[in-house]
Amino acid sequence: MKHFAVEPLPPSPNLEHQQKLAKRLLRDAWAGEADALARVRTFLPQAPNPDTLKLHDAQLVVARGYGFDSWAAMKRKIESLTASPLEQFDIAVREGDAARARELLAAHADVRAGINERRFDFDSPAIHQAKKNLPLVDVLLEYGADINARSTWWAGGFGILEFDLSLEQATPLIERGARITPWAAAGLGLFDELKSIIDADPSAVNARGGDGKTVLHCAASYAIAELLLDRGADTRIRDIDHGATALQYLIADEAVARLLVARGAEVDIFAAARLGDGALVERCLRDPPACAEARIDRGAYVAPGGHIYGWTLGFDLSPADVARKFGHAQIAESIVSRLSPKARLIDALWCGDGERVRHELAQHPSALKNLEADERGLLAAAAWWYRPDSVRLMLEAGFDPHATGAHNATPLDRAGFHGYADIVAMLLAHDANPPVAALNEFGGTPLGACIHGSVHGWTTGHPQDHVRTLALLLEAGSALDPTELPSGNDELDTVMRAWLKKESGAA
């Protein structure tokens, strides 16, 4: 049997290249190629049956071939040879490695000089990235990090205390010198501190902070909102990133929301529906009545970072949907009663209400004749948000299964990403020529979306089965590139390997 000696890393090592080598080695071992099997047995003598090798096994073989005891150790070495000290520092900060960050700061003047540069999420400095890791925070402070540096986010910079922190998490940062800004005070519920800030500088009440929000957008309590309103907070100001007023930001806090309404905040149909306030809904429907047909992330509810309602109420929802979602069924019925025939039918389809769909179609058989592009895209949205009854009814009503929605993705692509096998099966059953080769915004096919989603997706709370989804897409004619293997998902790899064997006649 051929044996392989340990070799040094190449002069210009590349981690991506080594990853490709590991994948190629695994494919070759699966195929029974002698050299690949011999390499595996040399560096992984305890290896299981080659047919059951996984990607992490191949990575370990590659790393040991260069004299490392793990893939992580080889990765670290390659980074030390190919990444600048500043790049290595950024990796250490992102990985929360306080010891490595200290080592790099102590050894390299350029790392120390760049400690406050905005190279992290939302154009923030390293200390923002580290804010929940106090050992790392202390290392950064020791070497000159400015705990009060603000991000340079395009829509408005954030301070370290102003985003994604509880008061408990913020307290040790305050003890280390983090300044309590008006937005931080409002968001953390620090009434006395906020009052002192405004007493010293009354103009702060309407100053813009992160995302272009005012202090009122950040109000964490009724008392803070009341203080700000008493001091002249302007309820009309919209933030820059999410295009929303303070009422729209704070709509989930009914007490605060009703205070804002009582103090003159402009009320839109979604806010009225969320509050379940019939009088406010009626007021909104009078001017203009077409607002009943609004939808989040459409028309007036679009913003660069997605309208705030998408993040707080839900994407792709109508006012009636919002009312239903938050338990206001009668309000929803009132809104639906004001819809046009087409909009009523779309609402019934979106709700998956077959009886109502049949009734509306009987009354208005041509209601779906001239759908707008965003209306045609609702089938893709229903597939993404796991609305199987809606998908079925839309298909039966004649919605085009090739029409694209978000990210220029077909319904098949959107359902495939999440592994919604039942929806994928439904789409395929209703389409003699399914769009298995259609490319989304990222250049991927539905099969690629399924593979990517199985590795990088998330648990949605709905039935997910990427293995069955993959099999359905393959059976529907999706082209499988052998270099997709290994994918990083062992179960999917098993299905793809069996498929390739069958296609080659080797099964």
What pLDDT does 107 receive? 98
Residue 13's nearest CA partner among 87, 70, 63, 85 is 63
Per-residue model confidence as pLDDT tens digits over 104-129: 999 999 999 999 999 999 999 999 99
Q: How confident is the model at residue 49 (pLDDT cuts 50, 70, 90)?
A: confident
- Report the share of the chain in percent with pLDDT over 90: 95
Per-residue model confidence as pLDDT tens digits over 67-90: 999 999 999 999 999 999 999 999
Whether residue 147 has pLDDT greater than 80: yes
Cβ atoms of 236 and 300 closer than 8 Å: no
- Mean pLDDT to the nearest integer, 471-488: 96
Q: Write out the DSSP string of 78-113.
A: HHHHHS-HHHHHHHHHHTT-HHHHHHHHHH-HHHHH
Per-residue model confidence as pLDDT tens digits over 370-418: 899 999 999 999 999 999 999 999 999 999 999 999 999 999 999 999 9
Which amino acid does the sequence have at 369? K
What pLDDT does 287 receive? 79
Q: Which two tokens stand for residue 314?
A: 């839900």
Whether residue 444 has pLDDT greater than 90: yes
Q: What is the CB-side half-sphere exposure of residue 449 using CA atoms within 13 A?
A: 32
- Mean pLDDT to the nearest integer, 128-146: 98
What pLDDT does 3 receive? 73
Per-residue model confidence as pLDDT tens digits over 12-38: 999 999 999 999 999 999 999 999 999
Which amino acid does the sequence have at 310? G
- Report the share of the chain in percent with pLDDT over 70: 99
Residue 160's nearest CA partner among 138, 192, 128, 136 is 128
Per-residue model confidence as pLDDT tens digits over 320-347: 999 999 999 999 999 999 999 999 999 9
What pLDDT does 378 receive? 98
Rounded mean pLDDT of the chain?
96
Q: How confident is the model at residue 506 (pLDDT cuts 50, 70, 90)?
A: low
What pLDDT does 464 receive? 98
Residue 482's nearest CA partner among 22, 50, 62, 28 is 28
- Mean pLDDT to the nearest integer, 131-156: 98
- DSSP secondary structure letter of residue 250: S
- Asked if domains 161-266 and 403-507 share a fold, the reply is yes
CA 5 to chain CA mean position, Å: 45
What are the C-alpha distances in Å from 458 to residues 32, 144, 419?
34, 38, 10
d(CA 173, CA 264): 37
- Mean pLDDT to the nearest integer, 245-261: 98
What pLDDT does 345 receive? 97
Which residues lie closer than 8 Å to 427 by C-beta, 6 or more apart?
Answer: 383, 391, 395, 401, 411, 412, 415, 434
Cβ atoms of 317 and 295 closer than 8 Å: yes
CATH of domain 403-507: 1.25.40.20
Whether residue 254 has pLDDT greater than 70: yes
Q: In the CATH scheme, what is the homologous superfamily, with its name and number, of domain 161-266? A: Ankyrin repeat-containing domain (1.25.40.20)
d(CA 506, CA 36): 19
Cβ atoms of 105 and 89 closer than 8 Å: yes
Q: How confident is the model at residue 248 (pLDDT cuts 50, 70, 90)?
A: very high
Which residues lie closer than 8 Å to 385 by C-beta, 6 or more apart?
Answer: 315, 316
Q: How confident is the model at residue 503 (pLDDT cuts 50, 70, 90)?
A: confident
What pLDDT does 1 receive? 56
- Mean pLDDT to the nearest integer, 259-278: 98
Q: How confident is the model at residue 48 (pLDDT cuts 50, 70, 90)?
A: low
Cβ atoms of 243 and 302 closer than 8 Å: yes
What pLDDT does 106 receive? 98
Q: Write out the DSSP string of 287-352.
A: SSGGGGG--TTSGGG--TT--HHHHHT-TT--HHHHHHHTT-HHHHHHHHTTS-HHHHHHHHHHHT
Cβ atoms of 319 and 282 closer than 8 Å: no
Q: What is the pTM of this model?
A: 0.92
- Mean pLDDT to the nearest integer, 242-271: 98
Q: Which two tokens stand for residue 248?
A: 């729209």
Angle (deg, nearest 10), helices 15-30 and 71-82: 150
Domains of the chain: which residue ranges? 15-79, 161-266, 270-338, 403-507
What pLDDT does 37 receive? 94
